[in-house]
Amino acid sequence: MKLAGMTASIAGKAAKNSLRHLSSDEEKRLQARSELMQDVGIQIAETLGEMKGAVMKVGQIASQYKDVFPPEVATALEKLQKDAPPMPYAQIRAQIERELKSPVDQLFTVFEETPFAAASIGQVHKAILPSGQKVVVKVQYPDVDENCDSDLKQVRMALKIAGVLNMSKQLQEQLFNEIRQSLHDELDYVKEAHNLQVFGAFHAEDEGLIIPKVVNSHSTRRILTLTEEMGETLTVAATWDNEIKQKIAERLFHFTAGQLFGLYRMHCDPHPGNFAFRHDGSVVAYDFGGIRSYSHSEVQLFRRFAQHAVKGDVTALEQDLIALDIRREDDKNVPGEFYEKWLAIGMKPLSIAPYQEGAFDFGSSQVHHEAISQMRTSLKYFGQFQPSATTMMLDRTVSGQYWNLVNLGVEIDLSPLVAQYITN
């Protein structure tokens, strides 16, 4: 009923906005649309923020695909990524006992009733097994998985009615299928347990990259028990010496690029809460529910795109963007200067010459501000580009890791690592 009420309210606002500005000039219509989008974004965020479970998770996922939504809506949705209030322990206990078919005090010698992390679809508690092994127990909220498709449909309808989804029906289908699959994956802890084992084996020889192990005897589709692997938050790590921060940055880079180019599967939720950091520069990675797999041809295309970007070959770059379904195939010319300006911004954090000579200081990075300024001057070409289902999760991951390095405040030259992964 909350979702239906939100959708009806947004429909009324959109209709009223259209009628009021039928005879307005273009500038006034654009201003009115921006104000409407801001209002709609706040309403969607507030409604979803009041609700637990899949519907809030839909909002969180939507907030991570910023290129799909107008900036006003994306900004309002961002606040949904913060921690959710926890569920009462009595409900958590009942869920554990229902799933694991035994009383909590038989399953664990110690089980901390207060969670140390809570999110939209579940929360995490520390515990100790009868063997003495320290573990963390991820408990999915009851009935979350049953309503996720209808929740997603309602959110999509609200966005569509508000005119937020300015794209073809086919592209809408592709993007929302991607979001739907991501949501289903995150709700299936059996799949996440399998992912943890696959990625644990892949990174087994990578010194300083730590992935918790699954305790199968205490795990089901809605309960996931893992070995306890603790570390400090990103905020704490940001206070350490640059030498340690460089090790962390290198490991985060290897974590993402190594998976993409070596495993063809990637951990696509680089939220800082999904990592912990140790004083020796080690990185602990959590939450392997949001995984995206790629084909060999897709990975080779990503590598080719990166090679052309590093070389500054804008003609080849445009062909790559067409192959990735980002650049629309049409007769409208996009000048090489357009791509060159974006390369001058995007290549700096990777310390690619001539755009950046030597180490890049992420702590004082202005790249995101430069990108916003460039967007304002590039608006006349934006109709030639569209979000791509192929790159949506990759975009989310790369931008998330950029922000992790900004918040870490590291100064580092990443160009040798770039060369390591994109050289055939």
- Work out the number of other CB atoms within 10 angstroms of the CB of residue 136: 22
Which pLDDT band, with edges at 50, 70 and 90, does 51 fall under?
low
Average pLDDT over residues 274-283: 96
Averaged confidence pLDDT in the chain: 86
DSSP H/E element including 139:
strand 134-140
pLDDT tens for residues 341-365?
999 999 999 999 999 999 999 999 9
Residue 383 DSSP symbol: G
The residue ranking higher by pLDDT, 236 or 157, is 236
With a cut of 70, say whether residue 84 has pLDDT above it: no
Question: Among 65-69, 73-77, 277-281, 322-326, which is the least confidently predicted range?
Answer: 65-69
The pLDDT value recorded for residue 71 is 67
Of 221, 198, 56, 60, which is closest to residue 139 (Cα–Cα)? 221
Average pLDDT over residues 228-251: 97
3-state SS track over 224-279: EEEECCCCECHHHHCCCCHHHHHHHHHHHHHHHHHHHHHHCEEECCCCHHHEEECC
Average pLDDT over residues 86-108: 95
Q: What's the CA dihedral at 397, 402, 403, 407 to 10 degrees?
A: 140
With a cut of 80, say whether residue 134 has pLDDT above it: yes
The pLDDT value recorded for residue 259 is 97
The residue ranking higher by pLDDT, 85 or 13, is 13
pLDDT tens for residues 193-230?
999 999 999 999 999 999 999 999 999 999 999 999 99
Question: Among 75-89, 135-149, 269-283, 375-389, which is the least confidently predicted range?
Answer: 75-89
Structure tokens at 239: 């206070």
Structure tokens at 368: 């995101």
Which pLDDT band, with edges at 50, 70 and 90, does 163 fall under?
low
Question: Among 67-71, 99-103, 316-320, 345-349, which is the least confidently predicted range?
Answer: 67-71
Average pLDDT over residues 105-121: 90
Which pLDDT band, with edges at 50, 70 and 90, does 72 fall under?
low
Which pLDDT band, with edges at 50, 70 and 90, does 77 fall under?
low
Of 394, 365, 370, 375, which is closest to residue 270 (Cα–Cα)? 394
The pLDDT value recorded for residue 68 is 60
Average pLDDT over residues 302-326: 95
The pLDDT value recorded for residue 11 is 78
CA pair distance 396, 68, nearest whole angstrom? 11
With a cut of 60, say whether residue 83 has pLDDT above it: no
Average pLDDT over residues 69-88: 67
Q: What's the CA dihedral at 70, 269, 399, 395 to 10 degrees?
A: -70
CA pair distance 319, 316, nearest whole angstrom? 5
